[in-house]
């Protein structure tokens, strides 16, 4: 018997969801979830789908929405209970709880998600490409004569970075809503490393940044090695066009190479042809794609 309902995640339910997410990560390489600590999905609504009392599927609805106020959902079915209708049931329940313009992620462009989306009246609205390259011998960064590079100083640079970020990503559904508090929260994460967070300055003002990240080893991806990421590259629109983005990217890539990593990834919007062209020249190639469906 299948049942789906909205639930508050008490300690027991949180552990059930964690077990399900870890099983999905083992099978699919996603989502990023730790064996302890907070779940990756916080706040909003949590939908639990059960079969004979056991958790078979989970969906999270971010009711606060993205930078444009659109609600966004994640839906995961336990690998051992797929092809039994749980995904469709969770999707239909999500529809009853969500706004009309809700968007739902399909990480890895899963064929089952495509079938459910078509059946429930969703269409592909966004593609987020994952690009990958082995570490290479990247050139030294070349900045404009009046621009200097340095690394991020916690407690000093948060407001300047967020101001540039807001201007550089006013079009982006997620990155554009980053706040000073969000940045400070990231600084408390185990992966945060200010030595891999590069700032470009002109006349003492921050005009761009490249924030890198290192992911823990995943046995299902990249030969089980730690992986570096070109996490965010942001350039103030008033400073674009002078090669600053390329210089910042090179600085971060060389840093990741110097740490001994052998693999680097990045995420880029599928319709951002200029950025894709730049990354392809640096050796990146398409690895996978995440799809956002809209109804």
In the chain, the N- to C-terminal Cα span, in Å, equals 28
Ramachandran angles phi, psi of 127, nearest 5°: -120, 130
Q: How confident is the model at residue 230 (pLDDT cuts 50, 70, 90)?
A: very high
Q: Which CATH architecture fits 2-121? A: 3-Layer(aba) Sandwich (3.40)
Residue 63 · residue 42 · CB < 8 Å: no
What 8-state DSSP symbol labels residue 138?
Answer: P
Find the helix or strand (DSSP H, E) in which 244 lies.
Answer: helix 244-258
Q: Say if residue 1's pLDDT is above 70.
A: no
pLDDT digit string, tens, across residues 35-68 = 888 899 999 999 999 999 999 999 999 999 999 9
Contact 201/236 with Cβ under 8 angstroms?
Answer: no
Domain boundaries, given as residue ranges, for the chain: 2-121, 132-289
Classify residue 164 by its DSSP letter.
H
* Of the listed ranges 24-38, 94-108, 188-202, 250-264, the one predicted with least confidence: 24-38
Which class in CATH covers the domain with range 132-289? Answer: alpha beta
**What would the mean pLDDT of 202-224 be, rounded to a whole number?**
88
pTM check: above 0.85: yes
Cβ neighbours of residue 279 closer than 8 Å, sequence gap 6 or more: 131, 230, 266, 268
* Fold match, 2-121 / 132-289: yes
Question: Which residues belong to the annotated binding site for acetyl-CoA?
Answer: 75-77, 83-88, 233-235, 240-246
Q: What percent of the chain stands above pLDDT 90? A: 84
Task: Work out the pLDDT band at 76, boundaries 50, 70, 90.
Answer: very high
The residues near 253 (Cβ < 8 Å, ≥ 6 apart) are 138, 230, 264, 282
Nearest to 178 by CA among 200, 138, 140, 211: 211
Residue 142: which pLDDT band, with cuts at 50, 70 and 90? very high
Task: Reply yes or no on whether the pLDDT at 261 is more than 60.
Answer: yes
What integer best gives the mean pLDDT of the chain? Answer: 93
Nearest partner of 213 among 267, 163, 167, 169, judged by Cα: 267
pLDDT at 217 over 80: no
Question: Is the separation of the CB atoms in 224 and 262 below 8 Å?
Answer: no
User: Annotated binding site, which residues?
Assistant: 35, 75-77, 83-88, 174, 213, 229, 233-235, 240-246, 267
What are 82-127's pLDDT values in tens digits? 999 999 999 999 999 999 999 999 999 989 999 999 999 999 999 9
Tally of CB atoms within 10 A around 203: 8
In the chain, the percentage of residues whose pLDDT exceeds 70 is 99
34 pLDDT band, cuts 50/70/90, is confident
């Amino acid at each position: 018997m299948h049942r789906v309902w909205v639930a508050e995640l008490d300690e027991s339910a949180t552990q059930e969801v964690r077990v399900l997410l870890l099983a999905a990560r083992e099978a699919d390489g996603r989502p990023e979830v730790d064996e302890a600590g907070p779940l990756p999905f916080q706040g909003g609504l949590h939908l639990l789908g059960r079969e004979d009392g056991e958790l078979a599927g989970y969906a999270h609805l971010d009711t606060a929405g993205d930078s444009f106020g659109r609600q966004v959902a994640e839906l995961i079915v336990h690998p051992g209970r797929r092809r039994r209708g749980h995904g469709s049931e969770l999707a239909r329940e999500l529809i009853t709880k969500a706004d009309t313009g809700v968007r739902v992620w399909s990480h890895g462009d899963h064929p089952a998600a495509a079938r459910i989306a078509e059946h429930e009246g969703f269409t592909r609205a966004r593609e987020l490409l994952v690009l990958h390259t082995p570490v290479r011998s990247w050139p030294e960064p070349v900045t404009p004569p009046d621009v200097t590079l340095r690394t991020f100083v916690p407690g000093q640079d948060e407001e300047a970075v967020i101001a540039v970020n807001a201007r550089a990503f006013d079009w982006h559904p997620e990155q554009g809503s980053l706040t000073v508090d969000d940045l400070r929260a990231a600084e408390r994460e185990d992966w945060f490393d200010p030595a891999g967070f590069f700032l470009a300055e002109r006349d003492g003002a921050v005009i761009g940044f490249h924030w890198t990240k290192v992911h823990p080893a995943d046995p299902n991806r990249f030969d089980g090695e730690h992986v570096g990421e070109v996490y965010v590259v942001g350039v103030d629109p008033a400073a674009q066009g002078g090669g600053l983005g390329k210089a910042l990217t090179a600085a971060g890539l060389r840093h990741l190479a110097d740490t001994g990593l052998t693999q680097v990834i990045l995420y880029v919007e599928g319709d951002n042809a200029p950025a894709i062209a730049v990354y392809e020249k640096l050796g990146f190639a398409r690895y996978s794609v995440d799809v956002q469906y809209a109804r």
